[in-house]
């Protein structure tokens, strides 16, 4: 997987996960189980994105910059 693809995936996972956590907090007021599931899934997404930030920092850059 190229470095550019990893960087795009990082942004999608981190921001998508945080958005899902926020939505889960709002939904939890009316549907507790669904909201909790959204919070957990969003937090896991954001955590995977954070781990990928570490992975990307260990990758060799390919373009000579």
| Per-residue pLDDT tens digits for 13-33 | 999 999 999 999 999 999 999
Do residues 14 and 49 make contact, with C-beta atoms less than 8 angstroms apart? Answer: yes
Q: Which of 45, 65, 41 is nearest to 4 (CA)?
A: 65
Average pLDDT over residues 32-59: 95
Q: Which of 35, 36, 34, 41 is nearest to 17 (CA)?
A: 41
Do residues 58 and 22 make contact, with C-beta atoms less than 8 angstroms apart? Answer: no
pTM score, two decimals?
Answer: 0.83
- pLDDT tier at 62 (50, 70, 90 boundaries)? low
Do residues 4 and 36 make contact, with C-beta atoms less than 8 angstroms apart? Answer: no
């Amino acid at each position: 997987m190229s470095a550019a693809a990893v960087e795009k995936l990082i942004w999608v996972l981190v921001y998508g996960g945080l958005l899902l956590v926020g939505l889960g907090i709002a939904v939890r007021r009316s549907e507790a189980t669904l909201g909790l599931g959204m919070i957990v899934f969003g937090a896991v997404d954001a955590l995977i994105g954070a781990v990928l930030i570490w992975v990307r920092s260990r990758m060799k850059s390919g373009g000579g910059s």
